[in-house]
Amino acid sequence: LSPGAKMGCFTFIKVMMILFNLVIFLSGGTLLGVGIWVKVDGESFVDIFGALSSSILQVVNVGYLFIVIGAILLVIGFLGCYGAQKESKCLLMMFFSVVLIIFIAEVAAAVLALVFTGLAETLLTGLVTPLLKEKYGPDPDFTKIWNITMTEVHCCGLNNYTDFNNSYYYETHGSYPEQCCDMKKPCNSTLAAQLALGFRHLLPSSPPCGCLLQGCFNQILKEIRTNAAVAGGVAAGIAALEIAAMAVSMYLYCRLDEK
């Protein structure tokens, strides 16, 4: 290519890099704002997006998740956009490094999720179960999110009803949440255990169905596996964008030496 053609190609890629990262920056700002909104007024967020409660996002702290992701996108968008605009090799290398670290972390998480599902469940249990014991009941937003999740997904706790043993809710009410007993009262350990083991046909006034009332982790994992193709496609698309972003940043970085 002639010098003019090379310069035109460089300019086009630079403009695309700026626009692409500007979108990332604005998306990060939006997620950060939503995350702050969830933390300040989580109840209204649940009222609007209650239909999404069957997703994995209802198991973790949505507000903190959005704040963290939003902050990361803000940093990536700023480094890529400003670095390309100012033709700064330092900022472009920082952009490449951050995206590479995120890409490696995503690959590692995907491998762990596919190969070590049991380990992922153990780690999640160690994080979420203490929150259930402490916040379910006294924290209205946390309680409402879990009530919607357990009702719509037809599950109880993260693993099963025993997640509420020695919890604030159990110590205060002397029973488990109604969702752990298929909305029957009082929800004691006998009733919850029968449903958890699939012995619903032993309950009075209940048709024999042998139903299992499992933990929310298993139900959500089953839903994810059912939609594995969609989840895999989304993950592949994100990975492709990250690889393309790293390639473009390296192209601009190397071309700056030739200018």
Alpha helices by DSSP H, listed for 3-139, are 3-40, 42-49, 62-86, 89-115, 117-135
> pLDDT tens string for the chain (259 positions)?
566 676 778 888 888 889 988 989 998 898 888 888 777 766 665 565 554 443 444 444 667 778 888 899 999 999 999 988 888 889 999 999 999 999 998 888 777 766 766 666 677 777 778 888 998 989 887 888 788 888 887 888 888 888 899 899 989 988 899 888 888 878 888 888 888 776 544 444 444 444 567 788 877 777 666 766 776 777 788 888 889 889 999 988 888 876 5
Segment 141-148 long-range contacts (CB within 8 Å, at least 24 positions apart) = 141/42, 141/43, 141/46, 142/42, 144/42, 144/43, 144/46, 145/42, 145/46, 145/53, 145/58, 145/62, 146/58, 147/177, 147/179, 148/46, 148/50, 148/53, 148/58
Q: Centre a 10 Å sphere on the Cβ of residue 244 and count the other Cβ atoms it contains.
A: 11
**Local structure of 88: helix, strand or coil:** coil
Assigned token pair, 159: 């693993």
pTM: 0.58
Distance CA 39, CA 37 (A): 5
Q: Is there a contact between 182 and 200 (Cβ–Cβ < 8 Å)?
A: yes
